[in-house]
Amino acid sequence: MKQNVHKTPNKYVQSFKAYVLDTLSWAYLALISYKIVYEKIIIDERYPEFTWNQPLLCLYIGLALAAVLFFTKFSLGRGLFGLIKYDENEGPTSQPFAYIGYLLILLTFITGFYVSQISMKEFLSESGLEGAKRIFKALFNPNWAIFEEGLFAAIETIYMAFIATAVAIPIAFVLGFFAARNLMNGNKISFFLYNALRAFLNISRSIEPLVWAIIFSVWVGIGPFSGMLALCIHSIASLTKQYSEQIESIDDGPIEAITATGAHPIQIVWFGVVPQIVLPYLSYTIYRWDINVRMATVIGLVGGGGIGNLLMQYQGQARWNEVGMLVILIAAIVWTMDWASSKLREALK
Amino acid sequence: MLEIKGLEKVYPNGHHALKNVTFSVPQGEFLVVIGLSGSGKSTMLRCVNRLHDPTGGEILFQGVDTSKLKGKALRKIRADIGMIFQHFNLIPRKTVMENVLSGNLSRTGIVASIFGIHSAEVKAQAQKYIEIVGLKGKEKNRADNLSGGQQQRVSIARALMQNPKILLADEPVASLDPATSHSVMQYLKKVNEELGVTVICNLHFLSLVRQYAHRVVALKGGKLIYDGKPLEINEEWFKTIYGEDAVEVTIN
């Protein structure tokens, strides 16, 4: 039996959140209006001065503006938290507070344009186009002499990704049960374990495999082993999360039924949980291998071995015909893996 | 056989599902529990085999208070109590035979059960129960490919595999069509009469109650408000149990 406790949101807490949101959005508006729109666009200052007083001042302005406008219809926070009453027929998009939102998006767009240093002049410059032409020409004339070398590196990449996935599977399989809320919320100890594991997984997942590869290439040396370790860590974290989410979405019925037969908790998991998750698990795992092969090529760039390593070497020597060969090989691998994995996953449905 | 004394259940969210429920069930009886949805019928059944933990009162099963048992002792009691469910709750992607064999898990070692090792004797027993519920020839079919009525019969066979002293049935026919409902009820009756298993069954339809029950108890808002013979439920009692606006629907 499911028991969902619906808490009605506290009005004062909501108002406080709305005020914080208002303050932050006004402060942000004030900051980018000054730093980008005024300094960069209007007076076109090349090296604008930055002091920490500027954002601090903007925060004060934000606090003040939010305080003044909080009870008007221009309070974005109150609008978003549903504290402003308006005509249902009009919808939220035409309300005054929505215009504040539009202004935020517009100014962010302008800021982004300047920060990215978008320049048509550079993009279409004579010498630049000449260089691009040279590279593209070389890419379309791959050097087939290194085909063999590239192929062996590619095989290394595929196997490296396979081993990274294979090592991650049993670890993620076991951890998946401990990271599933519906299995772990029975008592305080297991729930603590669940929270600790979740926090650990979130941290290790938020570190990109590229960063892991850099760490491991220092640790175990440049080569496929460091790449494999990097992919493995990332795969464990991702697979555990996907596995545990699958466990959380299963039907409680079979678990109840197996429990009612007087089965041991391990038997309950094996007969009540596992049959419901086998196929989705396989599907996720194949997809993970697919992703790992793709990532393995990138990881090679920072010393993780395989075809990516080779690519970086030739790129560093500006040998574009060789780079062209490797790009073709990588495209072929990615396309094949993508196709094979989608076919396999379809067959498993 | 089973004595329930002052049973209380308060859910963590504060919902008071059972209020001082007391009744007893003698050996071999076919007891039906009626009441509106949310009256506490399912909660009460689940307290008996401790799928839910009662918050007060006693449940004496063959003289043992089950409400405080833990671990191995609890699993042993559960093995003596079979249960079937509204949505059958079979193991998906497994065959009829594997599902029926899962009723024997409490007497199978963990490793043996994971590798599917069962003695010839146990397999013969499973075969016998599959035949009793009329599913001979379907042993190797996937259970989730069968019709609703057949799935419920598989779940009866699974419960019988426990060799239960008592069988709990939680709305066993609520997701079946009328004809199939009668067939499943007939099998429960057979289990009760021929194998001598005590049955406690939650039901919605009064027509089924009159046909199959030896005795009826009714719950309303978590309280026991009726305990007697099925034929003694007259118009007045009906209105009390189901509310003033209720109209009796028959199922034939």
The verdict on a CB contact (< 8 Å) between B93 and A278 is yes
C-alpha span between B142 and B155 (Å, rounded): 13
Chains A & B: contacts with CB separation below 8 Å:
87
Residues A149 and A19 in one domain: no
CA distance A258 to A272: 6
pLDDT of residue A342: 85
Q: A153-167, A300-314, B43-57: which range is least confident on average?
A: A300-314
Nearest Cα of chain A lies from the Cα of B45 at a distance, in angstroms, of 11
CA-based R_g, chain B, Å:
18
Tell me: pLDDT of A27 over 60: yes
The answer on B113 and B133 residing in a single domain is yes
From chain A, the residues in CB contact with B49 under 8 A are 260
Quick check: B160 pLDDT over 90? yes
Alpha-carbon torsion angle A92, A97, A103, A108, nearest 10? -80
Are residues B188 and B249 both part of a single domain? yes
Position B250 scores a pLDDT of 67
Q: Which residues of B touch A (CB under 8 A)?
A: 11-13, 15, 42-43, 46, 49, 51-52, 75-83, 85, 87-94, 102-106, 108, 110, 113-114, 155, 158, 162, 168
**Using CA atoms, how far apart are residues A323 and A328, in angstroms rounded to an integer?**
9
Are residues A77 and A158 located together in one domain of the fold? no
Q: Which residues of A touch B88 (CB under 8 A)?
A: 253
Q: What angle do the packed helices A11-32 and A53-69 form, to 10 degrees? A: 130
* Measured distance CA(A274)–CA(A263) in Å, rounded: 15
Q: Domain check: are A102 and A156 in the same one?
A: no
Based on its alpha-carbon atoms, the radius of gyration of chain A, rounded to whole angstroms, reads 28
Torsion of CA B111, B116, B117, B120, to 10 degrees: 150
CA distance B235 to chain A (A): 32
- Please indicate, yes or no, whether residues B112 and B174 belong to a single structural domain of this protein: no
| Helix A306-316, helix A274-300: angle, nearest 10 | 20
- Which residue segment(s) compose the domain that A84 sits in? 11-118
End-of-domain residue from the set B163, B194, B225: B163
Tell me the β-bridge partners of B81. Answer: B166
Q: Which of A1, A253, A263 sits opposite B105 (nearest CB)?
A: A263
**Do residues A225 and A177 share a domain?**
yes
Domain that holds residue B182: 1-80+164-252
Among the listed residues A152, A172, A175, the one whose alpha carbon sits nearest the alpha carbon of residue A164: A172
Per-residue 3-state assignment (H helix, E strand, C coil) for B4-35: EEEEEEECCCCCEEEEEEEEEECCCCEEEEEC
Which whole number is the average pLDDT over B50-79?
Answer: 89
**Quick check: A191 and A184 in contact, CB under 8 A?**
yes
Domain count, chain A: 2
- Give CA separation, B163 vs A158, A292, B97, B106, B146, in Å: 54, 50, 16, 11, 24
User: Does the pLDDT of residue A328 top 80, yes or no?
Assistant: yes
Q: Which candidate from B13, B75, B102 shows the least CB-CB separation from A271? A: B102
Residues 6 or more apart in contact with residue A191 via CB below 8 angstroms: A184, A185
B76 shares its domain with B91: no
pLDDT digits 0-9 by tens, A74-133: 888 888 887 777 777 777 777 888 888 899 999 999 888 888 877 777 788 888 888 888
Residue B252 pLDDT exceeds 70: no
> A310 burial class (0-12, 13-18, 19+ CB within 10 angstroms)?
buried
Cβ of A3 and B81 within 8 Å?
no
Residues of B in contact with A277 (CB under 8 A): none
Residue A3 placed within a domain: no
Q: Which residue, among B43, B89, B93, would best test binding to A if mutated, counting the most A CBs under 10 Å from its CB? A: B89
> Do the beta carbons of residue B166 and residue B2 sit within 8 Å?
yes
Co-location of A174 and A245 in the same domain: yes
pLDDT at A2 over 70: no
pLDDT in tens, A205-227: 888 888 888 888 889 888 888 88
Identify whether residues A56 and A96 lie together within a single domain.
Answer: yes
The one-character DSSP state at B90 is P
**Same-domain check for residues A76 and A157:** no
**Out of A254, A256, A264, closest to residue B75 by CB:** A264
CATH of the domain at A250: 1.10.3720.10
Q: How far apart are the first and last CA of chain A?
A: 29
What pLDDT does A131 receive? 85
Query: Where is the domain boundary, A68, A84, A118?
Result: A118
Contacts of A278 in chain B (CB under 8 A): 93
SS3 B36: coil
For residues A179 and A35, state if they share a domain.
Answer: no
State whether A288 and A257 are in the same domain: yes
Q: Residue A130: inside a domain, yes or no?
A: no
Nearest chain B residue to A272 by CA: give it: B91
**Cβ distance of A254 and B92 shorter than 8 Å:** yes
For the beta carbon of residue A120, count every other beta carbon within 10 angstroms. 7
Residue A8: its pLDDT value, please? 57
Question: Does one domain contain both B251 and B173?
Answer: yes
Any idea what DSSP says for residue B67?
Answer: G
Tell me what the pLDDT averaged over chain B comes to.
89
Q: Name the token pair of A64.
A: 């003040």
Instruction: Give the residue from B117, B140, B163 where a domain finishes.
Output: B163
Do A236 and A304 lie in a common domain? yes
What does the block give as tokens for B136? Answer: 């001979």
Residues A26 and A157 in one domain: no
Q: What is the mean pLDDT of residues A141-145?
A: 88
Please say which residue of B119, B135, B163 terminates a domain.
B163
Instruction: Classify strands B64-65 and B16-25 as parallel, antiparallel or unpaired.
Output: unpaired
B12 contacts in chain A (CB < 8 Å): 3
Q: Is residue B68 located within the same domain as residue B182?
A: yes
Contacts of A36 by beta carbon, 8 Å cutoff, 6+ apart: A107, A110, A111, A114, A115
B131 in the same domain as B47: no
B84: closest chain A residue by CA: A257
Report H helices in chain A. 11-32, 53-69, 76-80, 96-115, 120-123, 126-139, 147-178, 181-184, 188-206, 209-219, 224-248, 252-260, 265-268, 274-300, 306-316, 320-348
pTM: 0.69
Q: Are residues B76 and B114 in the same domain?
A: no
Q: In terms of CA atoms, which chain A residue is nearest residue B162?
A: A261
Chain A residues closer than 8 Å to B11 by CB: 3
Cβ of B105 and A266 within 8 Å?
Answer: no
- What residues of chain A have any CB closer than 8 angstroms to a CB in chain B? 1, 3, 5, 251, 253-254, 256-264, 266-267, 270-272, 275-276, 278-279
How many domains are there within chain B? Answer: 2
**Amino acid code (one letter) for A321:** N
Identify the residue whose tokens are 């401990």: A178
Which of chain B's residues have a Cβ under 8 Å away from the Cβ of A257? 83, 85, 89-91, 155, 158
What pLDDT does A1 receive? 37
Residues in A closer than 8 angstroms to B157, CB to CB, are none
Residues of A in contact with B110 (CB under 8 A): 264, 266-267
d(CA B51, CA B44): 10
Q: Report the distance separating Cα A243 and Cα B120, nearest Å.
A: 36
Backbone angles phi and psi of B20, in degrees to 5: 50, 55
For residue B52, which residues of chain A lie inside 8 Å, CB to CB?
1
Is there a single domain that holds both residue B178 and residue B73? Answer: yes
Do A173 and A282 sit in the same domain of this protein? yes
Classify residue A102: in a domain, yes or no: yes
Q: Can you give the pLDDT at residue A4?
A: 44
B27-41 burial string, b = 16+ CB within 10 Å, else e? eebbbbbbbbeebbb
| Domain match, B218 and B119 both | no
The whole-number pLDDT of residue A5 equals 46
Verify whether the Cβ–Cβ distance B82 to A260 is below 8 Å: yes
Best of A261, A264, A278 to substitute, by most chain B Cβ atoms within 10 angstroms, is: A261
Which of B102, B151, B160, B200 to mutate: most A Cβ within 10 Å? B102
